[in-house]
Amino acid sequence: MAFNQQYYIYIMTNRSKTLYVGVTSNITKRTFEHKHKLADCFTKKYNISQLIYYEVTSDIRSALKREKQIKGWLRSKKIELIESLNPKWNDLSEDW
């Protein structure tokens, strides 16, 4: 039986709307790490704790390519992406 792994490209933010783009194979665990400041220095330093956008793929190469693509965008384009699915910037992990 083959196991179909999923990968998530995600965007998190804080009250000041600082954006952080990342990729993970476990969105629930990774979000928990950000919220409890167990993740890297940037998200810890800027109190990045709200999941506002994510995409899912089964291919790690496409996930990494997409993460790099989004990171290369201007802030305005990232905001357009977020607001296309989450116009109020709700924390999508609030009920997890």
Reported confidence tier of residue 96, pLDDT bands at 50, 70, 90: confident
Q: Strand order in 20-24's β-sheet?
A: 20-24, 7-13, 50-57
Instruction: Decide which of 16 and 2 is more confident.
Output: 16
End-to-end CA, the chain: 29
pTM of the model: 0.93
Q: At CB < 8 A and 24+ separation, what contacts does 83-89 make?
A: 85/53, 86/52, 86/53, 89/13, 89/17, 89/50, 89/52
Give the pLDDT confidence of 33-63 residue by residue, as tens digits: 999 999 778 999 999 999 999 999 999 999 9
Q: Are residues 11 and 61 in contact, defined by beta-carbon separation less than 8 angstroms? A: no
Percent of the chain with pLDDT over 90: 86
Q: Are residues 51 and 10 in contact, defined by beta-carbon separation less than 8 angstroms? A: yes
Query: Which domains are present in the chain?
Result: 7-85 (3.40.1440.10)
